[in-house]
């Protein structure tokens, strides 16, 4: 019973924390250059996560496994957030970035065959409906530049390919250690990029510190621990569809925290998006029966 409650609570908590990263990111890049924000975030989070992994005695990946975790981490951290934060500095709103990131399940589904998963026609239909929903949710909230849009696409590919890569090559790695490796490996890369781009300054120390505390504790640590834990327990398609909800939640947080209007089109997008998520989450009964038969044969 406790495990079921934890499973139910885990998903909305992850969506809320993941969505809050867009608000914190906007505050952060308003106080310092995007690569400086990343460098500080990864450095502090990497130290805290390494101490946590040591304290709980989690097993660190080694050898080939470690290399795979590093690759996944660089894709999910440096590529994703480097592109998204830079897009924010180009005046792309958090809602628009969340919209593009919300297409993550579709990209994951395109690579599903590489990780031994199948996507049914019903799920594809659900993805399409969900995509329409998240599009409606933020359609009239912001304008896009081509550079900003391109950066959003790069960030989306970093997250999606990194997710599939980890699920394909290191599905059983301890999620706590994997998250620590992701962030720790990304910190020096972010630092070198910030130094090379002349982005090591801070303009507003107070706002920078506030954004950094939230991003480190809630986004880099708690949210990614949840993400890696869910990837270990569930298939990548199930985890990926949670991202359909992030644009709507981001729009609501923006309305509550920075007074961005919550328009009727956003509410309509929420309703359509939920329908798409329900359709995408349902699998044919024959699939379940077949798995039960296979499991019985193995026993």
Phi first, then psi, for residue 102 (nearest 5°) are -65, -15
Quick check: 225 and 175 in contact, CB under 8 A?
Answer: yes
Give the integer Cα–Cα distance in Å for 4 and 204: 44
Instruction: Determine the pLDDT at residue 60.
Output: 94
Per-residue pLDDT of the chain (299 residues; tens, 9 = 90+): 666 666 677 888 999 998 998 899 989 999 999 999 999 999 999 999 999 999 989 899 999 999 999 999 999 999 999 999 999 888 787 777 887 777 777 777 777 666 666 677 877 787 788 778 777 766 665 555 778 878 988 999 999 899 889 888 988 888 889 989 999 999 999 999 999 999 999 999 999 999 999 999 998 888 877 887 787 777 766 777 787 778 778 888 888 887 766 777 777 877 787 677 667 655 554 444 443 433 333 33
3 state SS of 39: helix
The packing angle between helices 205-214 and 34-56, to 10°, is 40
Give the integer Cα–Cα distance in Å for 87 and 128: 25
Give the integer Cα–Cα distance in Å for 92 and 143: 7
Q: What is the pTM of this model?
A: 0.78
Residues of 73-112 as b/e, b for ≥16 C-beta within 10 angstroms? bbbbbbbbbbbbbbbbbbebbbbbbbbbbbbbbbbbbebb
3 state SS of 52: helix
Which residue, chain included where needed, has tokens 């044919």?
284
Instruction: Determine the pLDDT at residue 236.
Output: 67
Give the integer Cα–Cα distance in Å for 214 and 220: 9
> Both ends of the chain: CA-CA distance in Å?
25
Instruction: Determine the pLDDT at residue 292.
Output: 40
């Amino acid at each position: 019973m406790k495990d079921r409650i934890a499973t139910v609570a885990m998903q909305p908590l992850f969506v809320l924390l993941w969505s809050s990263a867009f608000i914190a990111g906007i505050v952060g890049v308003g106080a310092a250059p995007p690569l400086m924000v990343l460098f500080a975030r990864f450095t502090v989070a990497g130290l805290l996560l390494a101490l946590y992994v040591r304290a709980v005695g989690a097993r660190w990946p080694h050898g080939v496994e470690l290399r795979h975790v590093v690759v996944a981490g660089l894709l999910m951290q440096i590529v994703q957030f480097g592109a998204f934060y830079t897009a924010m500095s180009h005046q792309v709103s958090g809602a628009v970035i969340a919209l593009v990131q919300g297409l993550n399940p579709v990209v994951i589904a395109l690579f599903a065959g590489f990780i031994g998963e199948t996507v049914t026609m019903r799920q594809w239909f659900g993805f399409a409906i969900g995509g329409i929903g998240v599009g409606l949710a933020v359609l009239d909230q912001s304008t896009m530049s081509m550079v900003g849009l391109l950066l959003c696409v790069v960030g989306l590919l970093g997250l999606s390919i990194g997710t599939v890569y980890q699920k394909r090559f290191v599905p059983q790695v301890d999620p706590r250690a994997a998250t620590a490796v992701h962030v720790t490996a990304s910190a020096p890369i972010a630092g070198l990029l910030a130094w090379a781009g002349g982005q090591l300054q801070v303009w507003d120390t107070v706002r920078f510190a506030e954004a950094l505390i939230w991003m480190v504790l809630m986004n880099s640590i708690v949210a990614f621990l949840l993400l890696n834990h869910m990837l270990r327990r569930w298939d990548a398609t199930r985890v990926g569809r949670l991202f359909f909800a992030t644009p709507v939640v981001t729009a609501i947080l923006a309305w509550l925290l920075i007074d961005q209007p919550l328009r009727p089109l956003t509410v309509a997008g929420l309703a359509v998006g939920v329908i798409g998520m329900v359709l995408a989450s349902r699998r044919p009964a024959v699939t379940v029966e077949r798995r039960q038969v296979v499991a019985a044969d193995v026993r």
